[in-house]
Amino acid sequence: MNFELKSLDLAGASAQSADAFILLVPAGFKPGRDPLAALVGQALKAGDLDSQPGKLLALYRPAQAKAARMLLVGVGDGTPRQVRLAVAAALGALRGGTPAVKRLLLCFAGAPQRGALRAAVAAVADASYVYTTTKSKVEGRSLARVTLGVPKLAEAKAEFAQAAAAVAGIELAKEWANRPANHATPTDLAQAARALAKFPKISCQVLGPREVARLKMGSFMAVAQGSEQPLRFIVLQYKGAPAAQAPTVLVGKGITFDTGGISIKPAGEMDEMKFDMGGAASVLGVFRALGELEPAINVVGLIPSCENMPDGRAVKPGDVVTSMSGQTIEILNTDAEGRLILCDALSYAERFKPAAVVDIATLTGACVIALGAVRSGLFSADDALAQRLLAAGETAQDLCWRMPLDDDYAEGLKSNFADVANVAGRAGGAITAAKFLQRFTAKFPWAHLDIAGTAWKSGAAKGSTGRPVGLLLEFLLAQQAPTRSGRRKA
């Protein structure tokens, strides 16, 4: 789908050809003298249009616009969240119409708030997304071109560029997370990562079983040993700043299918365990966006990828393995495998002398119970890093919530047979999982995002959300040095 940004007041917007025209109307709208503005003013005065977010008035071939269909949509105070809700409602109203909307015009009736344009772009992309890869009869997204109109073009260019790049990244993350496990093996993920090296400043290295064995990643190898699919350890690097600038490292959990291993999961909804590589997919998505934007930062992406299967060679409850760090781990539950592959990736991250490391993982059902599908769980002992991630989530409308990391939570991880157990009890399971990972992060500022509740949707809307690509991209871009104007380059 192609996005285009234009400088359009209401008079200019009314002259644009499109299959459908969405006009976002804020509270307190004051109509000008042009016919379209007068129409909006009359509708508000008559009570036919309500400026509350998502309230809309549908018009067919109005004299005041060239578009065949027109929706006047309230956006309330025009905050990014309200704009996102309004655009989603408008796209829902257009869905299923005949003929399908291929060219959409979306305009702001007033100057958009910071972040509102990005929210509109994201909402259009999300509402129109269609997965097609493994379908025999391809009926893809009908919406092909979206023109966004704003009163002042110069002020919106940087935000628009970031929004379009974020959509490209989110949709790459959705694509790989949505693919069935037989179409998204660790080898397939490695190929997707290699494809990103076509972008300037991105390089990719893929390590196989022999290289991982030389690194002594015994914890990672233990999870992979029950599968016929060979593991892959993917190293992506984006170099947009001088080498002296310490990189931020993103570590994405890449379990391409999780049966639970010997501690096998219940059969119900096990198909959704193809989404257990949502963290890895988000790292791929972020690098896709970085390739578009080329910001002046350095970023490393690490993806340990394998399947967790109950083969005769699979690791067993009670087995003790040695991680890359040298710490021994008693595996009490083979379904707590994500932390076992992440801990070795975190140890590998030390070689980059990172400014910060953020791991992203569909790690625990406990986090779903705690936070549901609204916010991702954020864990960090570094207050400054945690605050930057929280702020990035708010700006990107990809929300997270900081959870505790008190040392008392680590008591349940003590083992009589190893340095640490991989699980504690049921209570506080998301926190004890984070405490396990924290043992491998002493040499750098670290944060953990548990996206088990936010990475995908179940039920009729089953599919990947592409989160938290938006949060991570905003977090990374905020690290750029300001330009002379005081703004940061997109």
> Which of 10, 42, 34, 6 has the alpha carbon at shortest distance from 24?
10
| Per-residue pLDDT, 485 | 42
Q: What is the mean pLDDT of each run of 10 residues along the chain (490 residues)?
A: 92 94 94 91 94 93 93 96 96 86 94 94 96 90 94 92 97 98 98 97 98 98 98 98 97 98 96 98 98 98 98 97 98 98 98 98 97 98 98 97 97 98 96 98 98 97 98 96 51
Question: Among the options 253, 339, 375, 467, which is catalytic?
Answer: 339
**Which segments of the chain belong to CATH 3.40.630.10?**
174-477
Strands 254-258 and 298-308: parallel
Is 265 a catalytic site residue?
A: yes
How high is the pLDDT of residue 138? 81
Closest C-alpha to 277, from 253, 261, 301: 253
One of 265, 402, 457, 462 is an active-site residue; which one?
265
Coil, helix or strand at residue 480: coil
- pLDDT for position 488: 53
| Domain covering 2-151: architecture | 3-Layer(aba) Sandwich (3.40)
**Are 449 and 361 a contacting pair, CB within 8 Å?**
yes
Q: What are phi and psi of 281, to 5 degrees?
A: -60, -40
339 catalytically annotated? yes
State the pLDDT at residue 484. 43
Measured at the CA of 336, the angle between CA 335 and CA 339, to 5 degrees, comes to: 145
Every domain of the chain with CATH number 3.40.220.10 lies at 2-151
Whether 476 and 286 have beta carbons less than 8 Å apart is answered as: yes
- Topology, domain 174-477: Aminopeptidase (3.40.630)
